[in-house]
Amino acid sequence: MKIRIDGSRCCGHGRCYVTAPDLFTNDQCGYGQVRDQGEVAAALLEAASQAVRECPERAITLIDEPTQAVASAGGHTTGSENG
């Protein structure tokens, strides 16, 4: 799993790096940044999901790489299938 922040939506509230400091940090202006290229270890999956839910701008997405399904705070999942 990977996690991403859409920089065009982030307003710097900081909920991501307060909620999941192992996954996020902040830049010099206070905007959220992913750590470790957005890789989410299994042990941090719940923290990642909580960060997605708590972002007021819905700027965070959790991505299931094998299927390319994307879950956002809106609860919608999209994916692409081969074949």
pTM: 0.76
β-pairing, 69-72 vs 32-34, is unpaired
Structural domains in the chain, sorted by start: 2-77 (3.30.70.20)
Asked if residue 44 lies in contact with residue 23, where contact means CB atoms within 8 angstroms, the answer is: yes
Q: What is the mean pLDDT of residues 14-27?
A: 96
Question: Dihedral (C-alpha) 47, 70, 15, 20: value to the nearest 10 degrees?
Answer: 30
More confident residue, 66 or 20: 20
Helix, coil or strand: residue 33: strand
CB neighbour class for 32 (10 Å; exposed up to 12, middle 13-18, buried from 19): buried
CA distance 62 to 38: 9
pLDDT at residue number 65: 78
